[in-house]
Chain A
């Protein structure tokens, strides 16, 4: 009788085992992170956790379970507000001229509990993580110096406008990606990504 040996674990399983997560929510994060890194070619991936809260008396208390967060640099811009796009077109700025932006992702799985409280807590904590990531990145991903003085002027105008509208919601509010995976029968490795924004932000192609 030949000895049968179990096949090696798949890349994703070994990745999840290696990441040594403490709970199911955080194991989901490992799977999404794997997808971002290898399918969508994101870089500088970092994980965060919003700890659970024992009481939910205040509507802004965190939910009963921890929420995982991932951030990284996508190879292309994931979201551009329609008005921002118009401004870029008018000033002849292409996406490639701009400095890359760190994007945040919330990994979720079908069947997990999710509510407006979860969503609100993530958005309330987001500025904190953005700040943290900015300090971590330092100035390493600063502006690519443009050779053309005209281009440099256009970019300066763009960044000034961007600074001006931040907080007003004119070019959209703070946003992140909601990543959803299915671990059941349809667990084929598909991850669905949706852009979530705080408040009423007009759709991109209306």
Chain B
């Protein structure tokens, strides 16, 4: 399924979090832009479990910022956007409901066709089996005929088989030609677009504020790394050389400002832990501070990074 959602993808800003609710957008961003985010939706039946998480997808501010800077996404204030529900015209609402119903009918028809074809297949199988049995019976009959001339049983069987087929044939052909069922399947839409109009570009929020580690994040992302939050290893990000479903991560990433003092103990802690879990420890940062350049994008170009590994001596 290689579908592309309409760009820019609206990212819902809800009480300080950046969320995506459309599975189409989530798969597209992961496939094309190496943005994974974190699934945070749980099951309504069992909200405490955290083994199977689904939509919505929460993005780090860095991820949201990166997408906005690339003009792939825009930030929408969800609370404001939901007000649009009231302005929805009655006519629009009815049209939307009709569309849903048409879609439901379409799926009902698809399911009906599938059922029919399945039934025809199984009938064909039965027919074949019966034909085989008939052949065997005929062979047996020929043998018995040679020994004993008077035997009506096989012919009786034959007629019985033919009768059965005839009746089944008529039965199977009748539903396929019948009119499609009237009751359409109920469709539960997973997204609110449409019916809600896509918010106009003037109502988009500004690009998200990002921590000072953003230049390193963007630098690594531009090198093709997939980045995820680094809580599990006590670092800022984990850098994967490809999709996290296929690869182990390569680096534990920590960002520093250019003249920020680095405690050498932190380098040992990160380097030793990283080596212990077969990863490298990567530190880095932009050479220039925010005041020295026009935009964050300029800082990304000046990032220097260094990887550390335990020397084993």
Q: Which residues of A contact B (CB under 8 A)?
A: 40, 56, 59-60, 78-79, 108-117, 119-120, 123, 177-178, 180, 192-206
Contact = CB atoms under 8 A, between A and B. Distances in A.
B85 interface: no
A193 B311 contact: yes
Interface string B273-287: 011001110111101
A78 B258 contact: no
Nearest to B225: A200
Most buried by A among B275, B305, B313: B313
Given A79-B309, A112-B264, A195-B311, 20 more contacts: A56-B259, A59-B288, A59-B302, A114-B261, A115-B256, A115-B262, A116-B284, A116-B304, A117-B259, A119-B306, A123-B306, A178-B308, A194-B267, A194-B310, A198-B304, A200-B225, A200-B251, A200-B307, A202-B280, A206-B250
Nearest to B251: A200
A40 B304 contact: no
B220 interface: yes
Contacts of A59: 258, 287-288, 302
Nearest to A113: B261
B86 to A, nearest CB: 51
A115 B287 contact: no
Interface of B: 220, 223, 225, 239, 241, 248, 250-251, 256-262, 264-265, 267-268, 271, 274-275, 278-280, 282-285, 287-288, 302, 304-311, 313
Nearest to A103: B311
A79 B305 contact: no
B311 A78 contact: yes
A163 B241 CA distance: 26
A178 B309 CA distance: 10
Given A113-B261, A206-B248, A193 B307 contact: no
A108 B278 contact: no
Nearest to B260: A115
A19 B208 CA distance: 55
Contacts of B261: 113-115
A203 B248 CA distance: 11
A54 B248 CA distance: 44
Contacts of B248: 206
Contacts of B302: 59
Contact of A120 (B239, B278, B304): B304
Given A60-B287, A200-B305, A78 B259 contact: no
Nearest to B304: A120
Contacts of B268: 180, 192, 194
A152 B268 CA distance: 40
B279 A203 contact: yes
Given A110-B265, A193-B311, A194-B267, A201 B280 contact: yes
Contacts of B278: 203, 205-206
B285 A78 contact: no
Nearest to B285: A116
A119 to B, nearest CB: 5
A199 B305 contact: yes
Contacts of A193: 310-311, 313
A197 B307 contact: yes
Contact of B256 (A78, A116, A192, A202): A116
Contacts of B257: 116
A116 B225 contact: no
B258 A116 contact: yes
